[in-house]
Amino acid sequence: MSRPDVVVTGLGATTPLGGDVASTWDAMLAGRSGVSALTQEWAAQLPVRIAAQLAVEPSEVLDRVRLRRLDRSEAIAIIAAQQAWADAGLAGSDLDGERLAVSVGSGIGGATTLLAQDDILEASGPRRVSPHTIPMLMPNGPAAWVGLELGAKAGVHSMASACATGAEAIALGLDIIRSGRADVVVAGGTEAVIHPLPIAGFSSMRAMSTRNDEPERASRPWDRGRDGFVLGEGAGILVLERAEHAAARGARVYARLAGAGITSDAYDIVQPHAEGEGAIRAIAKAIADADVAKQDIVHVNAHATSTPVGDMLEIGGLHKALGDHPVLSATKSMTGHLLGAAGALESIATILAIRDGVVPPTINLDDPEPGLTLDVAAHKARHMEIPAALNNAFGFGGHNVALVFARP
Amino acid sequence: MTRDEITTGLAEILEEVAGVNPDDVAEGKSFTDDLDVDSLSMVEVVVAAEEKFGVKIPDNEVQNLKTVGDAVSFIEAQS
């Protein structure tokens, strides 16, 4: 049985750089930072007082009553999914819901709802806890809401693999279409945990940048002055579609999702494998699965979070698995780290890089690590033909996901 | 408190919790069928009404409150 091709026909996002894909992509190409100082009162006592907050508040898009029963991560998943759905030309279509699945995950889930309702419990007692608490904090909430919104009846799935979630959710979408279980999968990730507890937790791990006085310069992958990641929030959603199905309805195709590679380290709960062994295997598997020549993969949107250890391990892995020819980009230098949404947002950047023939810049790379032996489009976007490109995403727990996108 | 005042108070709660247009709230209206208030929102309405009117509305009573008028009568009798 021949394996069906899978293509990307719709994109949606709400990010620290813009309320949709077009504004986000324009800001990326211009090298703008979405990181700013946290001016909320609660931030004053924290060691980290910067983050990449949404450019457009959900309240500007969804009505007040609707937002009462949505965690912020659910609201932005719905917003991004609505955009992707319309972008794919599927709004108002008669697509059979039994051929539509959803694969949308989050790294941390409805933590802000949990904490806010716990405050209410402590202050006012159990009767005042919102009856919407459970559907707001359940990890499958974003996927379930997107499924409800779009009428998906072929299964709603909620991947959770920390910072690899968005990419792994897309990989699951690929599997679902290849298996024949659905013709269309709405796939991606969402995250909204800019709140003192998650910040304090990451901060206690010494994982976050404390460059509080220079927010826009804080996320600096591969730079010798990097001191940790910058927390971001947002959602990225892709419409994946069986290629023949897309062709039959005359859909515009952005790119082919050519292949995916998934591995796990079985090494440490938070430290990446010392030689990047799992990452190398994931990249190699993705390339093999994609059936694309290595030399055609000329661009990589790297995981590169701006942490001292992880950034350079990935460089070693790319060298081994792909070679020394790709031009790299670390778009987290502009968006911050969207955790469970990162792999989805960066897949969108990878797809648009292929479409437009441009590698987005890596900002703040002023003093590159001596070990940065691969070419990076530092500071400025670089125009070049991109037949195929790779997106990496790694997560606490030892999750490694690599995705290969190619011209349709 | 008059029945009209209680109805107005309920309309304010229904607008806040479920986005119901206050002009649609009248004693004959069913919460679920006419005003589209689902079961979770009804829980919120009950808790907010207890606070606003200083009454207790036991869970086993809520199922009998089908219409705005039912709720007005219950609150009127309690207060």
pLDDT digits (tens, 9 = 90+) for A199-258: 999 999 999 999 999 999 999 999 999 999 999 999 999 999 999 999 999 999 999 999
**A-B Cβ pairs (cutoff 8 Å, strict):** 17
User: Domains in chain B: how many in total?
Assistant: 1
Contacts of A68 in chain B (CB under 8 A): 17
Active site residues of B: 38
Q: What is the pLDDT of residue B65?
A: 96
Of the residues A217, A248, A279, the one at which a domain ends = A248
Kindly state whether residues A201 and A276 are assigned to the same domain. no
Residue A1 predicted with pLDDT over 70 = no
Kindly state whether residues A141 and A61 are assigned to the same domain. yes
What average pLDDT does the segment A173-184 reach? Answer: 98
Q: A63 in contact with B at a CB cutoff of 8 Å? A: yes
CATH, residue A361: 3.40.47.10
Indicate the pTM of the whole model: 0.96
User: Domains in chain A: how many in total?
Assistant: 2
Nearest to A132 among B19, B40, B47 (CB): B40
Q: What is the pLDDT of residue A292?
A: 95
Kindly state whether residues A214 and A290 are assigned to the same domain. no
Q: Of A63, A64, A67, A68, which to mutate for an interface test with B (greatest number of B Cβ within 10 Å)?
A: A68
CATH, residue B23: 1.10.1200.10
The reply to whether residue A131 touches residue B17, judged by beta carbons under 8 angstroms, is no
Q: What is the pLDDT of residue A66?
A: 95
The reply to whether residue A130 touches residue B44, judged by beta carbons under 8 angstroms, is yes
Kindly state whether residues A31 and A114 are assigned to the same domain. yes
Contacts of B47 in chain A (CB under 8 A): 127-128
Query: Distance of CA A127 to CAs A137, A304, B44, Å?
Result: 18, 45, 10
Minimal Cα–Cα distance from A396 to chain B, Å? 36
Q: Of A121, A127, A133, which to mutate for an interface test with B (greatest number of B Cβ within 10 Å)?
A: A127
Active site residues of A: 163
The reply to whether residue B19 touches residue A63, judged by beta carbons under 8 angstroms, is yes
pLDDT digits (tens, 9 = 90+) for A54-94: 999 999 999 999 999 999 999 999 999 999 999 999 999 99
Output the CA torsion sign for B22, B24, B28, B31.
negative
Integer Cα distance of A67 and A87 in angstroms: 23
Kindly state whether residues A177 and A273 are assigned to the same domain. no
Residue of A240, A243, A239, A289 lying closest to A262 (CA atoms): A289
Establish if A253 belongs to a structural domain: no
